[in-house]
């Protein structure tokens, strides 16, 4: 993270560049994070609210991922914002970001469950109606077992997402690990479920415009944004190891 906010008379002066900003084209306001070196911590982050139309806040271009998504790059060039645009205490942006990520990771997990469920419904309907070698393809065990695996993984993902949502509401302080687990498992499972649905559709599954083809493109970014699957594994393993150290000490 390279954007920097410098404290100036009456507020802050922001400079930097942001890539991959969701809803950046249609939103009127944005929350952004910038380095605000404070005593002894040169890497401290702070969160700020900025508004479109402010001088120095410029949307550079729209980006086109695999599926439709309002995504932009923007530049901050000598963007002067008032002191009250600071969100939370100065230098506490990392905590603000983590709290937001805990929530967003659960919601990305929930979106993945919805997409896996949709793919399963498509696959079930297709498998029952498509006839090959004199019978519905659902009667081939190679197909019906894929449906069974997809349904099982979808329900396991759903249960983990619900658990992570409960943890986020709770007071135990374990929301971080559960939101990462939910995001990791649900997005990876949904990707597998949607891939199976495409496979069950045969050639029809890869034709542009079919529902499963659309889901196949739509699910892909979910394993990347709000932290890649690898970063979720990092969060989970660090949480586990920290807990083990604490219980030893
Ligand atoms: C559709 C879309 C919407 C997005 N919306 C937003 C948004 O609104 N706001 C925002 O801030 N960002 C947004 N992003 C950015 C997104 O969060 C990042 O793309 C994502 O976190 C990965 O960062 P990166 O692209 O820099 O990949 P990199 O960090 O360059 O990672 C490249 C590869 O290396 C792996 N890797 C990196 N570090 C480690 C590590 N320590 N251990 C193991 N593996 C590692 C990654 O998992 C990945 O496989 C969006 C991205 C997309 C695709």
Q: How high is the pLDDT of residue 243?
A: 77
Q: How high is the pLDDT of residue 40?
A: 77
CA distance 97 to 76: 19
In CATH terms, 93-248 corresponds, of 2.40.128.120, 3.30.70.20, 3.40.50.1370, 1.20.140.10, to 1.20.140.10
162 pLDDT more than 70: yes
> What mean pLDDT do residues 135-139 have?
98
Please tell me the distance between residue 227's alpha carbon and the centre of ligand 1 in angstroms: 6
Could you identify the atom of ligand 1 that is nearest to the CA of residue 63? 1
> What mean pLDDT do residues 97-103 have?
94
Residue closest by Cα to atom 32 of ligand 1 = 228
Confidence of residue 96 (pLDDT cuts 50, 70, 90): very high
230 lines ligand 1 (CB under 6 A): yes
φ, ψ of residue 136 to 5 degrees: the values are -65, 140
65 lines ligand 1 (CB under 6 A): yes
- For a ligand 1 pocket test, name from 3, 20, 32 the mutation site with the most ligand atoms within 8 angstroms of its C-beta: 20
215 pLDDT more than 70: yes
Confidence of residue 180 (pLDDT cuts 50, 70, 90): very high
pLDDT tens profile 104-115: 999 999 999 999
> How would you label 203-232 residue by residue, b for 16+ Cβ within 10 Å and e otherwise?
eebeeeebbbbbbbebbebbbebbbebeeb
Residues of the chain with CATH 1.20.140.10: 93-248
Long-range contacts of 80-85 (CB under 8 A, 24+ apart): 80/8, 80/11, 80/12, 80/13, 80/14, 80/55, 80/56, 81/11, 81/12, 81/14, 81/48, 81/50, 81/54, 82/10, 82/11, 83/10, 83/11, 83/12, 85/11, 85/12, 85/48, 85/49, 85/50
214 lines ligand 1 (CB under 6 A): no
Q: How high is the pLDDT of residue 5?
A: 95
CA distance 74 to 23: 12
Between 230 and 37, name the one with better pLDDT: 230
Kindly provide the ipTM of the predicted complex, given to two decimals. 0.98
199 lines ligand 1 (CB under 6 A): no
Confidence of residue 38 (pLDDT cuts 50, 70, 90): confident
> What mean pLDDT do residues 176-181 have?
98
Q: Over the chain, what is the mean pLDDT?
A: 95
Q: How high is the pLDDT of residue 249?
A: 58
239 pLDDT more than 90: yes
Return the number of other C-beta atoms located less than 10 Å from residue 193's C-beta.
Answer: 30
φ, ψ of residue 114 to 5 degrees: the values are -60, -40
213 pLDDT more than 80: yes
Residues of the chain with CATH 2.40.110.10: 4-87
Q: How high is the pLDDT of residue 65?
A: 93
User: To which residue do tokens 């995504």 refer?
Assistant: 71
CA distances from 86 to 14, 58, 71, 97, 170 (A): 12, 19, 24, 13, 27
CA distance 211 to 199: 13
Q: How high is the pLDDT of residue 197?
A: 98
In CATH terms, 4-87 corresponds, of 2.60.120.10, 2.40.110.10, 1.10.10.10, 3.40.190.10, to 2.40.110.10
Residue closest by Cα to atom 44 of ligand 1 = 230
Share of the chain above pLDDT 70, in %: 99
pLDDT tens profile 44-91: 999 999 998 999 999 999 999 999 999 999 999 999 999 999 999 999
Q: How high is the pLDDT of residue 248?
A: 65
Q: Half-sphere exposure of residue 112, counting CA atoms within 13 Å on the CB side?
A: 37
Between 167 and 42, name the one with better pLDDT: 167
75 lines ligand 1 (CB under 6 A): no
């Amino acid at each position: 993270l390279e954007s920097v906010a410098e404290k100036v008379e009456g507020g802050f002066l922001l400079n930097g560049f942001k890539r991959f900003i969701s809803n950046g084209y249609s939103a009127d306001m944005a929350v952004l994070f910038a380095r605000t070196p404070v005593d002894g911590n040169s890497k401290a982050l702070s969160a700020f609210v900025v508004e479109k139309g402010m001088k120095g806040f410029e949307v550079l271009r729209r980006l086109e991922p695999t599926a439709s998504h309002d995504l932009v790059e923007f530049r901050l060039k000598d963007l002067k914002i008032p002191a009250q645009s600071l969100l939370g205490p100065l230098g506490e942006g990392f905590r603000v970001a983590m709290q937001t990520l805990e929530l967003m990771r659960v919601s990305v997990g929930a979106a993945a469950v919805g997409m896996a469920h949709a793919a399963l419904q498509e696959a079930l309907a297709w498998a029952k109606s498509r006839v090959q070698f004199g019978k519905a393809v659902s009667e081939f065990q190679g197909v019906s077992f894929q449906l069974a695996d997809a349904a099982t993984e979808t329900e396991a993902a759903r249960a983990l997402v619900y658990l992570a949502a409960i943890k986020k509401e709770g007071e135990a302080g374990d929301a971080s690990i559960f939101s990462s687990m939910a995001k990791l498992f649900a997005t990876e499972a949904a990707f597998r479920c949607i891939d199976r649905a495409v496979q069950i559709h045969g050639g029809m599954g890869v034709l542009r415009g079919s529902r499963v083809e659309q889901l196949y493109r739509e699910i892909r970014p979910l394993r990347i944004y709000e932290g890649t699957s690898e970063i979720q594994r990092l969060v989970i393993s660090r949480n586990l190891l920290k807990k083990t150290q604490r219980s030893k000490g």
